[in-house]
Amino acid sequence: MTLQQGAESQLLPAIPLEIQFLILDQLYTGSLSRRRRIANLSPLALTCFAWAGHIQPLLFRNISLNKCNTDAFLSLLRRNGRLGEYVLAIFLPGGARVILNPDLVRHLPNVHTIRVTSHSYMSLVEPHRPWVTVRTLSLSFCILSTAQDLWAFIDLFPALESLECGGWMYARGDMRRQLAARQFTVDSFSVSLATEEDRDASPCNALLSRIGPTLQVLDVTELPEELAPSESAFIPLDISNCTALRHLTLRLHHSTASPTHMNTGLISFLHQIPSGPLTTLTLETILAAPLLELQWDVDGILSAYTFRDLENIAIRVRPASSTTSLTFGEVKTHLESRMAGLRQLGLLQVEHVEL
C-alpha cells in the first residue's frame, strides 16, 4: 500500500483504485431504487477523471426511453457519442415506436436487451432499421392487433436468442393461425400466464408450436387456471412441441392456494414434457398448506429411463405473503417422502428461498 501526504502533512494510506471501483459498483448494485442509486452516483462522477471513467458506464448501462426524453437523449449522444457505447439495455414503457429511429440504432452499438411494456399497439407502419446487436427481447402487457405486427417487430432483431412474454392481450381472430404459420427460432423463451386473459393459452401455444423444436430453455410463471364458472375460455399451456428442451423452470406463486388446481395443472404439465435431453427442472412455489395435500407422482413422471440426461430437480419454496403455521421442514420432509425414488438417485433438491 502506498502512502500519500495530505494537506496537513499527514501520511494517509491510499486505497487502490480497484478497491475504489468495487465500492462504486456497490453503490450502483445496492438495494436502493434505480433513481436513488443514480442520484448518489452522479455527483461522484465529478470527483476525478478516474471515477468519471468508471461511473459513466454504470449510469448509462440501463436506460429508460419514452416519447418525452428520446429527442433529448439523442441530442446528448450526438454531442458525446462515447456515452452510447455504454448502453447495454433499454426499457421502453409504453413507447416501442422510438426503436424505429435510425439514429438511436446508430448511436447505441452495444445494446443486447430491449424491454417493452404497456404498449397499446404493435403495428409498424414506418421503415425501420434492424438492430443486429439485440439478443433478448421482452414484451409485457402489449396489445397485438395481428400476428404480422408481432413478426414485423421481431424482425427488427435478426440476432434474437431469447424471447420473454408476459401479460399479452391477443386481440384479433386469426392470431393463432398466423403465429403458427411463421418459422422462427430462439434458444430461450420466458412466459408469464398470471392474468385472467392468459387462461386461454392458445396464442402462446401457437408460438411454441414454431419455436418449440429448437427451444432449449423454457421459463413459465403460473399456469392457466380452470375456474368455474367463467366467461372466458380455458385452454392450458401446451409444451409437447418442445422436444429439444434442456432447462425448464415453473413458478407457481398464486396457484398454490388451490391443491386441486396444483394437482391437475402441475401434474398434467409435467406429463407433457417430451422425453429427450432435459437436464434440469426447477419448480418454485410458496410455503402454503396445500403443498401437503398434493397427489405427487413425480417419481413416475420423471422416470430416469425416460429422461436419461436429467441431472437435477430443484424445488424452491419461498415464504408465503400471509401468515402460515406450516414450516419449511414439514414441506421438505413431505416432498422428499413422496419423491423417494428421485432422492435416492441424487436428483432431488428441496431449497428454502428467502424473499
Least Cα distance to 281 among 260, 264, 253, 303 occurs for 303
Whether residue 344 is contained in a domain is answered as yes
pLDDT value at position 52?
84
142 contacts 166 by C-beta, under 8 angstroms:
no
Q: Which stretches in the chain have pLDDT values below 70?
A: 1-13, 30-32, 95-100, 119-128, 143-147, 167-183, 196-198, 224-233, 254-265, 288-300, 302-305, 320-325, 355
Query: Do 124 and 253 sit in the same domain of this protein?
Result: no
pLDDT value at position 264?
63
pLDDT value at position 65?
86
C-alpha grid cell, residue 225: 387456471
Query: Do 95 and 168 sit in the same domain of this protein?
Result: yes
pLDDT value at position 292?
65
- Write out pLDDT tens, residues 323-334: 666 788 887 888
Domain of residue 304: give its range: 222-227+248-355
Rounding to the nearest 10 degrees, give the CA dihedral for residues 65, 67, 69, 70.
Answer: 70
Give the separation between CA 122 and CA 114, rounded to whole angstroms. 14
Give the separation between CA 100 and CA 124, rounded to whole angstroms. 9
pLDDT value at position 323?
61
pLDDT value at position 12?
47
Least Cα distance to 119 among 158, 161, 194, 65 occurs for 65
Query: Do 195 and 265 sit in the same domain of this protein?
Result: no
pLDDT value at position 109?
92
pLDDT value at position 276?
79
H-type alpha helices, 143-277: 147-154, 175-180, 202-211, 259-261, 267-272
Query: Do 117 and 253 sit in the same domain of this protein?
Result: no
Q: Can you give the CATH number for the domain in which 195 is found?
A: 3.80.10
Boundary of a domain, candidates 187, 213, 239: 213
Query: Do 96 and 139 sit in the same domain of this protein?
Result: yes
- Write out pLDDT tens, residues 73-94: 999 999 988 899 999 999 888 7
How many helices (H) and strands (E) the chain has is answered by: 13, 15
Q: How many domains does the chain have?
A: 2
Whether residue 157 is contained in a domain is answered as yes
Characterize 169-195 residue by residue with b for buried, 16 or more Cβ atoms within 10 angstroms of its Cβ, and e for exposed. ebeeeebbebbbeeeeebbbbbbbbbe
Q: What are the Cα distances from residue 116, in Å, to 110, 126, 160, 162?
A: 18, 18, 15, 14
pLDDT value at position 3?
41
Q: What are the Cα distances from residue 266, in Å, to 115, 270, 341?
A: 29, 6, 19
Query: Do 121 and 208 sit in the same domain of this protein?
Result: yes
Q: What are the Cα distances from residue 57, in Å, to 36, 42, 82, 88, 216?
A: 17, 11, 10, 9, 32
C-alpha grid cell, residue 122: 404493435
- Give 137's strand partners: 114, 163
What are the phi and psi torsion angles at 159 (to 5°)? -100, 20
Cβ-based neighbours of 342, under 8 Å, separated by 6 or more? 298, 299, 302, 313, 348
